[in-house]
Amino acid sequence: MTYDYVVIGGGASGMTAALILAKGGCRVALVEKSPRLAPVLRGFSRQGLHFDTGFHYTGGLGEGETLALCLDYLGISPGIETVAYRQDGFDLFRCDRSKFEFAFPVGYGRIRQSLCESFPGEEGAIDAYLEKVRTVCRALPYLSLDADWDLASSMQNLHGASLQDVLEGLTDNRTLRGLLMQHCLLYGVVPAEVSFAQHAAIMGPYYESVSGIRGGGRNLVSAFETSLNQHGVDLYCGSAARSLEFSAAGQIRALVLDNGQSLSCKACVASIHPQHLLEMVPDSCFRPVYRKRLRALEDTSSAFMLYAISDAPVEALKGANLFLAQALEDDAVFEAQSIKQSPMYIAASGYRAEDGAHQGLIGICPTPDSVTRKWAATKRGSRGEDYEAFKGEAMQRMLRRIEDALPEIRGQLTCVEGATPLTFGDYGNTPRGALYGVKHRIGQYNPMPRTRVDNLFFSGQAVAAPGLMGAVLSGFLTCGHILGHDRIREELKRCR
């Protein structure tokens, strides 16, 4: 049997692409290296509680909003229940040094009001900032189904002025600038490197609505699995894609897996880190300059991540996350070797199966992968005592910082798991344990869906943007190139 499409990578983007192609009448195989689909989104259980890793909250899931429409289209919506975050403050930003706090609310009107109250005299800058975010979101195809279809100029805009430059042009208030920059932790690129347009495209949907999914990423993945089965997608999990075979005419004709199985196919979508694809094709497949460009792609930051159980639910984290920063001014550090200096994201986690209530939390501190480089050649499970001691110490430091920030739960937290850049490399399958894969930064040209090989396409967070929304939209973007953008956008509009 020959598949019309083989999709490599069973994360959010690969599952999305596989479903769209199957809905479009294609015979599709989806290949995932891990034993089960979407290891990053799925999370894991400890002591009977479920912990999320790669999904906590998202924008775009409000009624009629873009991500919600995409999930309707994919047949996912009936299998999930969204849970709204706190309207008066879904993210609480707190400065360690000055103790300044800001609860970032949901909705442009509320955001304006809260910012104006905290920064009197800055109304003009605040209005201009929010209008610029709206303008970007209205103009990007797929993010807005009403936007004109002009991919080339949209992509050009994504390389315009940096977030930092735009904010500096709007206001001299360093705390306001710093505050509006803090959300760059959600995509892993510093304000001087990310374009304003990319920042706006990611954050705009969060400004409209913020939701989680009851039961977490695990339930989302299970809804994807149901739909993939219903649409007849064949799943190949537990063996990595190893190499692509080409015909004499230079077209892909099969994908060979690590277990030796060969999947005959007419075309392929790769939703993995672009550098991993290079290892699967002969050098002659791409021009040397393109190969060089892919090899040089810079990744987003990695992180330490703590998973802890608490004796009682953490009230402060009900419907809201806590962001800690040493400084909230625009010279704030966004990635540091030391846990004390690093910003920290804290969210509710440890969900009980019986009622979905949380009984724990996770903490994430961005850190460069250099902190674990000396163990890079070791294998999971046998990295040595010094690595285990290093990791244990890092988790204790995170625990102490969380207890300092949330004194009401001091002494009630028990660390049940921890992750370092090496863990993210193992489970996220990114070369350097990057949280969000390849950076989207000004001057770095990430791969587009089409490649020089007619029947080979890229998808995934490297193509569009990180996050559930970026990954899902990348699937639509890639399949739009294959099945026709007008067709897909019209079908999506019918889900309104």
Q: Which residues bind ligand FAD (CB under 6 A)?
A: 8-14, 31-34, 38-41, 53-58, 240-241, 271-272, 276, 305, 364, 428-429, 435-436, 460-461, 466-469, 471
Is 34 or 164 the residue whose CB approaches ligand FAD more closely? 34
Q: Which one-letter DSSP state was computed for residue 437?
A: S
The answer to whether 111 and 133 are in contact (CB under 8 A) is no
Least distance to ligand FAD from the beta carbon of 356, Å? 17
Is 8 or 327 the residue whose CB approaches ligand FAD more closely? 8
- Closest by CA to 454, choosing from 246, 288, 151, is 246
Which secondary-structure segment (H or E) carries 333?
A: none
Least distance to ligand FAD from the beta carbon of 241, Å? 4
Is 225 or 329 the residue whose CB approaches ligand FAD more closely? 225
Phi, psi torsion values for 286, nearest 5 degrees: -120, 155
Is 332 or 469 the residue whose CB approaches ligand FAD more closely? 469
Amino acid identity of residue 33, one-letter, is: K
SS3 149: coil
Q: Which one-letter DSSP state was computed for residue 407?
A: G
H helix intervals, 335-455: 385-405, 421-428
SS3 313: coil
Instruction: Quote the tokens at residue 151.
Output: 């991919």
Is 55 or 323 the residue whose CB approaches ligand FAD more closely? 55
The answer to whether 255 and 28 are in contact (CB under 8 A) is no
Point out the residue whose Cβ comes nearest to ligand FAD: 11
Alpha-carbon span 451 to 199, nearest angstrom = 26
Alpha-carbon span 29 to 21, nearest angstrom = 10
Least distance to ligand FAD from the beta carbon of 123, Å? 31
Using CA atoms, how far residue 413 sits from 63, 351, 472, in Å, is 36, 15, 35
- Closest by CA to 455, choosing from 287, 249, 309, is 249
Least distance to ligand FAD from the beta carbon of 305, Å? 6
Least distance to ligand FAD from the beta carbon of 32, Å? 5
Is 171 or 271 the residue whose CB approaches ligand FAD more closely? 271
Least distance to ligand FAD from the beta carbon of 71, Å? 13
Instruction: Quote the tokens at residue 340.
Output: 């004390």
Is 126 or 268 the residue whose CB approaches ligand FAD more closely? 268
Is 125 or 213 the residue whose CB approaches ligand FAD more closely? 213
Is 301 or 326 the residue whose CB approaches ligand FAD more closely? 301
- Residue 311 C-alpha from the chain's centroid: 30
The answer to whether 274 and 297 are in contact (CB under 8 A) is yes
Is 35 or 121 the residue whose CB approaches ligand FAD more closely? 35
Phi-psi bin for 64: left (phi > 0), alpha (psi -120 to 50), beta?
Answer: left
Least distance to ligand FAD from the beta carbon of 37, Å? 7
Q: Helix axis angle, 467-483 relative to 12-23, nearest 10°?
A: 30
Is 128 or 376 the residue whose CB approaches ligand FAD more closely? 376
SS3 188: coil
What is the chain's percent helix, strand, coil content, to nearest 5? 40, 20, 40
Least distance to ligand FAD from the beta carbon of 43, Å? 10
Cα radius of gyration (the chain): 22
Least distance to ligand FAD from the beta carbon of 172, Å? 32
SS3 117: helix
Least distance to ligand FAD from the beta carbon of 186, Å? 7
Q: Which one-letter DSSP state was computed for residue 448?
A: P
Is 10 or 418 the residue whose CB approaches ligand FAD more closely? 10
Least distance to ligand FAD from the beta carbon of 431, Å? 10
Which secondary-structure segment (H or E) carries 382?
A: none
Instruction: Quote the tokens at residue 312.
Output: 């009682």
- Beta strand spans in 258-391 (E): 262-270, 302-310, 321-325, 344-352, 358-367
Least distance to ligand FAD from the beta carbon of 237, Å? 9
Least distance to ligand FAD from the beta carbon of 109, Å? 24
CA angle, corner 405, sides to 403 and 410, nearest 5?
25
Is 14 or 105 the residue whose CB approaches ligand FAD more closely? 14
